[in-house]
Structure 1
Amino acid sequence: MTERYSALAQIYDRLMYDVSYETWADYLLGFLKEQGIGKGERILEYACGTGNITLPLAKAGYHVIALDAVEEMLFIAQEKTRKKAQQVEYVCGDMERFVLNRPARAAVCACDGVNYLPDKDALRRFFRCVHTNLQENGLFLFDISSAYKLENIIGNEFFYDDGEEETVFWKNHFDEQNRMVTMELTLFIAQGSLYERQDEEHIQRAWERAEIEEMLSETGFTDIRAYGFLEKQEPKEREERIQFQAIRKGTNHG
């Protein structure tokens, strides 16, 4: 197996053709504006990937520091940023341990970043790190693929996507005891007249809303709210993606 996302990075944007990142970014920008976080403020984005949320945030006038653990993703994000003549600070690092030189006004983690945290210790480290990286009254926005989605829609299923330049096979197994879904991806990527095979394994944790809210409270966040994705209403019983909002309180000693 190759390193997670190192091969997938090459075709990630093509595979996500059905995702409206502009709509997603507008949704997040609404939260920022509601909290009075205006242009020029520093925003730390975790698990930024190829920059699909990063670029709209930068376009809206924010000073974005974008973090990801996968260099291949960051290379693509940097090239897209250059082509759009925008300014973003990209950092390759571990979201459980990265510390800013000075706190940001808001932190964002979109599209399953938190699902990749495998256990409560990792979740606690991440939330503590976010707390350190935020100013007092700083806003924390993130989403998860719901436990319902990972167990009932993604788990124990087989998918494939056959494009003009790539074919992806995606086999999943859900472990009920550990609340983890293992996703085995086989990618065939066009290299001239031939196809190169790459294999990756992704593991995501099915977090319950109550677990997330308890850990946020434990690590110093207040005004914790959960919404159905792209809404401002309580998540439905079978919600596939849940959006969280929390406020960092207390003096920052980071």
Structure 2
Amino acid sequence: MSSSYSAFASIYDELMNDIPYDAYVELLDLASAGVLGKKVLDIGCGTGLLSAMLAKKGAHVTGIDLSADMLEVASRRAQSLSLDIRFIEQPMQRLDVEDTFDAAVISIDSLNYVIKQQDVVETFRRIYGALATGGVLLFDVHSLCKMDEIFLEGPFVFDNRRIAYIWQTAPGEENHSIYSELAFFVKQQDDSYQRFDEVHMQRSFAVPEYVQMLEEVGFHIERIFADWEDEAPEEESERIFFQVRK
């Protein structure tokens, strides 16, 4: 990530306001037989939107993220809502928590930011170790179609009159990876615009590869579905969901 990540954290929520976080809550609630009173790991929690929603449902939430700036926003959110959420700064492949958890979630393709396959396996291994027997992991990733085709149809532009960006993409060095350069323009009180730039890299793997990595560390695959629907992934699916259990 670039050094301007603090600026990105300040506008992240506005850029993500079309993400159905409530659907994640419902999915995890169903998979966990209710999150009330459960210990939940929100991995790649960002600004804590999902953490707060889970805590409001009665879950005991621990949020994990590698960005101190994101976690600062998340902590302020929790305090403003009088929610008792613990936030820890660490990359998911170095997950190190003392408690044993009933559920874990990696939402909004956060796992795709883990580029090396051995680090994805290590992420699964550490989550497995942090879960109680019977604990569930729910996560989503970009499909290969999205990585190899849809993302490369850029550049993409966005403008809501307060925030604008130009997003340019190119294939990354690894298979099924992308390299993204984003230029953001954020309107200031004097109607001028502040520019800052971000560089992001993401990578995905084929569904059978994820299955192999998950089973390698001991997870049992319960459900694989796509695009928020209870249907099997197809060739043109964009977001693949996994529900697995220890």
- TM-score bracket relative to the smaller structure: over 0.9
State the SS of the aligned residue for 2:92: coil
State the SS of the aligned residue for 2:208: helix
State the SS of the aligned residue for 1:53: helix
TM norm structure 1? 0.89
| Amino acid across the alignment from 2:31 | F
TM norm structure 2? 0.92
Q: Which residue of 1 aligns with 2:51?
A: 54
Structure with greater proportional helix content: 2
Choose which of 35, 41, 44 in structure 2 pairs with 1:44.
41
| Amino acid across the alignment from 2:241 | Q
CA contact (8 A) 2:71 2:87 kept: yes
Query: Aligned equivalents of 1:12 and 1:211: distance in 2?
Result: 31
> Relative to structure 1, is the Cα distance of residues 3 and 124 closer, same or farther in structure 2, using a 3 angstrom cutoff?
farther
**Residue 26 (structure 1) shift:** 2.0
Counting only pairs closer than 5 Å after superposition, residues 6-155 of structure 1 correspond to structure 2 as: 6-33=6-33, 37-155=34-152
| Amino acid across the alignment from 1:13 | D
Question: Which aligned segments of 4 or more residues in structure 1 are displaced greater than 3 angstroms?
Answer: 3-6
> Relative to structure 1, is the Cα distance of residues 13 and 177 closer, same or farther in structure 2, using a 3 angstrom cutoff?
closer
Query: Aligned equivalents of 1:157 and 1:17: distance in 2?
Result: 21
Provide the identity percentage: 32
Choose which of 164, 182, 185 in structure 2 pairs with 1:185.
182
Query: Aligned equivalents of 2:127 and 2:214: distance in 1?
Result: 10
State the SS of the aligned residue for 1:24: helix
Structure 1: gaps of 5 or more residues: 249-254
Query: Aligned equivalents of 1:146 and 1:5: distance in 2?
Result: 26
Q: Which residue of 2 aligns with 1:208?
A: 206
Residue 242 (str. 1) matches residue 230 (str. 2): no
Query: Aligned equivalents of 2:235 and 2:64: distance in 1?
Result: 32
**Residue 241 (structure 1) shift:** 0.6
| Amino acid across the alignment from 1:10 | S
CA contact (8 A) 1:156 1:171 kept: no
Aligned length: 245
CA contact (8 A) 2:35 2:54 kept: no
Query: Aligned equivalents of 2:41 and 2:116: distance in 1?
Result: 23
> Relative to structure 1, is the Cα distance of residues 71 and 5 closer, same or farther in structure 2, using a 3 angstrom cutoff?
same
Query: Aligned equivalents of 1:91 and 1:121: distance in 2?
Result: 23
CA contact (8 A) 2:32 2:102 kept: no
| Amino acid across the alignment from 2:23 | T
**Residue 176 (structure 1) shift:** 7.7
RMSD between superposed Cα atoms in Å: 1.8
| Amino acid across the alignment from 1:201 | V
Cα deviation 1:193-228 (Å, max 9, x = unaligned): 232221111000022111110000111111343112
Cα deviation 1:38-61 (Å, max 9, x = unaligned): 421111110001122111111111
Query: Aligned equivalents of 2:90 and 2:81: distance in 1?
Result: 24
Query: Aligned equivalents of 2:121 and 2:92: distance in 1?
Result: 12
**Residue 4 (structure 1) shift:** 7.5
